[in-house]
Amino acid sequence: MTSIPARDLRNRYGQIIERVRGGERITVTADGVPVVDLVPHVADTRPPRFRPADERLEWAPLSARAAAEWAADIRSTADTLDQTPADPWNRQ
């Protein structure tokens, strides 16, 4: 890996970027201390963390069968829960 002082990066920015684009790795130093590494960009191969809005329609709707199963599950759960309203501050 090549080291260059920060002033060389400032003065020859275009040339240095072309060297990095060509595959060279360069360490930039300030007062002789390494402060940054310039390396060629590597495309991110991971799937995106958030899906773009135009793709949401592909995964948002439930199939008719899945919707019916979900509704049946909710109905069966509702019968087992006590849904009587209660005052949480009632201190009798």
Residue-range domains of the chain with CATH: 2-38 (3.40.1620)
> Model pTM greater than 0.75?
no
| pLDDT value of residue 57 | 52
> Is residue 56 very low, low, confident or very high in pLDDT (cuts 50, 70, 90)?
low
> What's the DSSP call for residue 53?
G
> Is residue 12 very low, low, confident or very high in pLDDT (cuts 50, 70, 90)?
very high
Evaluate whether 2 touches 20 at the Cβ level (below 8 Å). no
Euclidean distance between CA atoms 45 and 39, whole angstroms: 17
Euclidean distance between CA atoms 31 and 26, whole angstroms: 16
> What's the DSSP call for residue 28?
E
pLDDT tens digits, one per residue of 32-48? 999 999 999 988 777 76
